[in-house]
Structure formats: structure tokens, C-alpha cells
A = this chain, B = another copy of it.
Amino acid sequence: MSDALPAGSVIGILGGGQLGRMLSVAASRLGYRCHIFEPGAQPPAGHVAEQVTTASYDDHAALRAFADAVDVITYEFENIPTAALDLLETLKPIRPGRAALAASQDRLTEKTFLQELGLQTAPFADVSDAASLDAAIAAIGAPAILKTRTLGYDGKGQARLKTADDAAEALASMAGAPAILEGFVDFSHEVSVIAARGLTGEVVCYDPGENVHRDGILHTTTVPARLSGSQRMDAALLAGKILTSLDYVGVMGVELFVTPGGLIVNEIAPRVHNSGHWTQAGCAVDQFEQHIRAVVGLPLGDGQRHADVEMLNLIGDDVADLNTQMRATRTQVHLYGKAEAKPGRKMGHVNRVLG
């Protein structure tokens, strides 16, 4: 622990949503204080952080003051403007580092990186205009899915092509943004591995969870996932390969499609991940604490799963009546303190210990 930031140090977190909120709580368990940087007013993470800076990512004076006030910087989302990172990294360590952000902010860079590591991805092709889209459809076939290269999440910035006839409409919906066409993968189910790598290079993976989506948003994650022993091993090995090749420090979410031909990497997220919320109920050290441990240079904790868990996301009006969940056995309700329950907004989640 001699190399770890001493207890009482301040962790700067870019982003004040529910992930920042749960990171701040985890940091408090280890004696650290948190400072949130967030453009939006009343960020959920602000309820449990010692300091909040409300400022835009192009406010360089605010960024400088934030960096001066903290000992290390981490983040709860990957789409941080590059200029802000360029400034911050001259002032304080940013963990996970820039390589991970570069590899995950852009779908084309991400898939190219994964292929170069020897990992399987969906077939993909760069699309910048009608001609390159036609070429992509010729190479990949249809159905396929057109996605903006950057800034997409929870099904946003995507258009499905049932046939080549949908090309023009799909391209128009990208509004001129650089895109990639991805072929469909014939998978039986999706799993994700939440992996962590410490400052000294040690890697720990949580047991993979099985994800079910609804309307493009994660609905449930259940552990254990339906995987053979060798699939489970493959998942851990490929996650370790990704983290190590990026000299990664922190927790990463790696989404995988399970196919007869092996595991296919869907996407990586260089942060704590919604599909890892189950660790709050199933492990002594959850993904949020594991991320904080890595970021401050503490040894990684015990991520062994001691219980089967189902995590259920509470979206929009799902929080209107929680009486049943509040009273249920072996059940944790987590709410994010968001003021308004808009449709599609993640308001909380429920962890139910199974069996």
C-alpha cells in the first residue's frame, strides 16, 4: 500500500450520474473523498461527494481548478471532449488512461483495435457517404446496422438496414456523422465481463453476467451466465488481453456475444458498467470499489462471487411503485436520486440474490 494514495486523498470524477454516485460511495468506504466535475445542475453524484464543480468541459479555468483540487482523475463515461483531456492530463494522472478512451470513443478504432489483438468482432466497414455504404453492404450483406462512430449509447445513433433498400434512409439518419456498418452476429445470448487491472498490472475478472436488453437498454443481468467452463475461461483471457494491451488501470466492461464459433466482442466500455451492478450483492468488493482501488493504487480486492444474483434495471416509471421490491427477501433496491422519471431514463436498479 506504500504506493497508494493515502486515505483522505481526493479523487476527481468526470461525470455526475449514477456511476459517479456509486463510485463516490465506494471511495468513501476506503476513506477517500470525491470531487465531481459535471456540466449539468444537481448531479446525482453530488449528493454523496464532498465537492461538485458545475462547469462545461470547455471551461478551461474550471478544469484547471478541478485538477488542482484533486489527486487523481477518473471518469464515469467515455465521451469526454478530447481538449478537456489534453488539458487535464498535463495536470494530474487520468486513470484509466487515454489509450482506453481512444479505443472506445470511436467504434471504428475500437473494432480495429480488437481485431488487431486477434479477437473476433462483428464484420464491419467504414461508412462516410453513399458510395462507401454501398461498398459496405456489398461486403457485409444485409440485414446490418449502421452506427455513428462516436457518441452512441443505449441504442441511440443507430439505424437498422433490413435490406440494401434501407441504405439511403439509414444514411440520412446519421446526419452526416462518420459511421460504420456492422453485420449482424448470429448469437445465442450476450454476456459481459467486468474486469479490473491494478496499477501494478494485476488483473481480476468478475464472473460473467448474462444480459437481456429491452428497447436497446439493458434490462437484466443474471449471474452466473449460461457459459461452458472453456467459454468462461475464454472470456476472462480475452478481457485480460484487452486490459493489458492498453496498460489499463481501473474497471472495464466487455460485452460479448456467445456464438457456436466462439465469443465475439461487441463493445468495450472503459469504466464501471451497468452490467456489473450485480457485484454489489454478490461479491465482498463490488465493481465500484474495485475501480477506486485500481485508480488510487491499492491492491485489487476479492471479486469472487459468493451468490447468484439477478440485477434488474429500473427505467422511467419503474420507480413509481417499489413496494414489492422493497419488501422482497434478499433484495437490494438502489435509487439514483434523479429528480424526474423520464421514459428511458435509468432511475435505479434492483439486485436480487437468487436461491
Give chain A's interface residues, CB within 8 Å of chain B.
1, 7-8, 21, 24-25, 28-34, 46-50, 281, 284-285, 293, 298-299, 301-302, 304, 306-307, 319, 321-323, 326-339, 348, 351, 353
Q: A8, B337: Cβ atoms under 8 Å? A: yes
Residues of chain B within 8 A (CB-CB) of A284 are 281, 329-332, 351, 353
A47 to B47, CA, bound (A): 10
- Given contacts A47-B50, A323-B299, A28 and B337 within 8 Å (CB-CB): yes
Q: B306, A353: Cβ atoms under 8 Å? A: yes
Q: Which chain B residue lies CB-closest to A304?
A: B329
CB-based closest 6 A-B pairs: A31-B335, A48-B48, A302-B329, A28-B48, A284-B330, A31-B337
A322 to B335, CA, bound (A): 31
- Looking at A32, A34, A48, A281, the one whose CB has the most chain B CB atoms below 10 A away is A48
- Given contacts A281-B284, A323-B299, A29 and B328 within 8 Å (CB-CB): no
Q: B335, A29: Cβ atoms under 8 Å? A: yes
Residues of chain B within 8 A (CB-CB) of A34 are 47
Q: B29, A333: Cβ atoms under 8 Å? A: yes
A209 to B166, CA, bound (A): 65
10 additional A-B residue pairs with CB within 8 Å, beyond A29-B334, A284-B351, A298-B326: A7-B319, A24-B48, A28-B47, A31-B338, A46-B50, A47-B50, A281-B284, A285-B332, A301-B331, A302-B327
A50 to B21, CA, bound (A): 12
